[in-house]
Amino acid sequence: MKNTASKLKRLAFPAAAVLLFAGLTFFAGDAAQAAREGLELSLRTAVPALFPFFVAGALLTGSGLVDSIGRVLTRPMHALYGLGGSGAVALVLGLSGGYPVGAQAVCDLYRGGAASKDEAERLVGFCNNSGPAFIIGVAGVAVCGSARTGVCLYIIHALAAFITGIAMTTPPGKDPPPPRKAPPMRRAPKNPAAVFLSAVQDSFGTCLTVTAFITFFSVLLALLRRTGVLLLLGAAGAPALSLLGFPAGTADAAAAGVLELTNGLAQLPALALPRHLLLPLCAFLLGFGGLSVHCQTLSILQQAGLSPRRHFAGKTLHGAVSAALAVIWCCLAPQTVPVFAPGGVGAAAPAASLAGYGLLALVVFAVLTRSAGRHAAFRYPARTAQKKRPR
């Protein structure tokens, strides 16, 4: 059995390459059109939004300003995640710049000496997130028909990132937080011009990598649709979605979103999903990010010598927590979506569907509560022991 499995693994990659080549040959017109659309999407949306944040993150690290920020935020970052204060820079950049700005910021911290390898790999599990411009403009306005709903989705996304970080990082040590002094990192270069030039050049190279993956996944999605493979992937996930009350056509859009986030979100308005289904699905896709984002992040992490294992686990948990928070929001604030939202968005949630989502929320928060309890149990006994020590 082991020999058979190893042979299948060796044959899987060549077989996938042959199938891709065959698809590009038989559906060359569709592939070329998808490549043009992917390049247009990158140049009009991704690159203008990401490039300034890539440069800003590199300048923050190269200028030595991370040193001061790390000293100020050492205690809260240590109390929440057991990490140094400089990690807050990556978290803020990730929540403001969008995918994959957070991953690039973590790599800049690691290269600059502001974070160890273990700290950087833990940071990337919850610091690489979608930005407010994308969530409000695409998920809020284009999909849900409301900028206010986009703001709520962004708040959910950010809160889920904080919770995911608590769940994935190890508890702080029994010792009190470290004193406010600069973490060990390299000194700022003496020549600011060299820092600026390097930041711009490296950031442009990263944008080219992002553009390449967006274009490739646009072509891949076109081939999967043309050959019917995307329908098969959707059919595989349809039973689970139907248990939560989703109509049959939702599985295709969800499968597309798992592969490439923007394409999946673009298919949701045509489904006219009710609000209690649309918002959790949007929240999950935004939290997970899609395999295209994972590949972009993998490329960035490999260049820095960091493992992507915690990133994939973190984004999967981030998507689940986001969906659970969106379910709770739908139950607590049923009138937050305006009446001009896409058809059916303001509909009331059936009791059975809410029960299924409620079960999802309970399971997710049970795991997180256990993690939070582990953090507390790790901290508080140390304080008690200190009180009992003889003076």
Q: In whole angstroms, what is the distance from residue 232 CA to residue 238 CA?
A: 10
- CB under 8 Å to 260, separation ≥6 — which residues? 214, 217, 218, 221, 290, 291, 292
Which letter, b or e, does each residue of 259-284 get, where b requires 16 or more Cβ atoms within 10 Å of its Cβ? bbbbbbbbbbbebebbbbbbbbbbbb
Amino acid in position 334:
P
Give how far the C-alpha of residue 24 lies from the chain's centroid of Cα atoms, to the nearest Å: 30
- Two tokens at 138? 């695409």
pLDDT 10s digits, 239-287: 888 888 888 788 888 998 999 998 889 889 988 888 888 999 999 999 9
Predicted confidence band of residue 217 (pLDDT cuts 50, 70, 90): very high
What is the DSSP annotation of 166-215? HHHSPPPPSSPPPPS-PPS-PPPPS-HHHHHHHHHHHHHHHHHHHHHHHH
Residue bearing the bigger pLDDT, 125 or 336: 125
Q: Please report the pLDDT score of residue 338 as a whole number.
A: 43
| Average pLDDT, integer, range 201-205 | 89
Nearest-5° Cα angle at 233, 228 to 238: 120
The closest alpha carbon to 353, from 323, 318, 322, belongs to 323
Q: In whole angstroms, what is the distance from residue 215 CA to residue 291 CA?
A: 13
CA atoms within 13 A on the CB side of 311: 29
What is the DSSP annotation of 350-379? PHHHHHHHHHHHHHHHHHHHHHHHHHHHHH
Residue 291, pLDDT > 90, answer: yes
Q: Please report the pLDDT score of residue 350 as a whole number.
A: 53
Amino acid in position 241:
L
Q: Looking up tokens 């996944």, which residue turns up?
A: 217
Cα separation values, 8 from 23, 76, 106, 147, Å: 22, 48, 36, 48
Q: In whole angstroms, what is the distance from residue 314 CA to residue 123 CA?
A: 10
- Rounded to two decimals, the pTM is 0.80
For helices 291-304 and 192-227, the axis angle rounded to 10 degrees is 140
The closest alpha carbon to 124, from 253, 267, 304, 292, belongs to 304
Is there a contact between 24 and 181 (Cβ–Cβ < 8 Å)?
no
Q: Please report the pLDDT score of residue 128 as a whole number.
A: 94
Three-class secondary structure of residue 349 per DSSP: coil
For helices 250-259 and 229-243, the axis angle rounded to 10 degrees is 110
Is there a contact between 166 and 81 (Cβ–Cβ < 8 Å)?
yes
pLDDT 10s digits, 62-95: 777 777 777 788 888 888 888 888 888 899 889 9
> Could you tell me the maximum CA-CA distance found in the chain, to the nearest angstrom?
82
| Average pLDDT, integer, range 204-209 | 89
The closest alpha carbon to 25, from 227, 215, 295, 212, belongs to 227
Residue 10, pLDDT > 60, answer: yes
Q: In whole angstroms, what is the distance from residue 133 CA to residue 130 CA?
A: 9
Least confident of 112-116, 123-127, 142-146, 371-375: 371-375
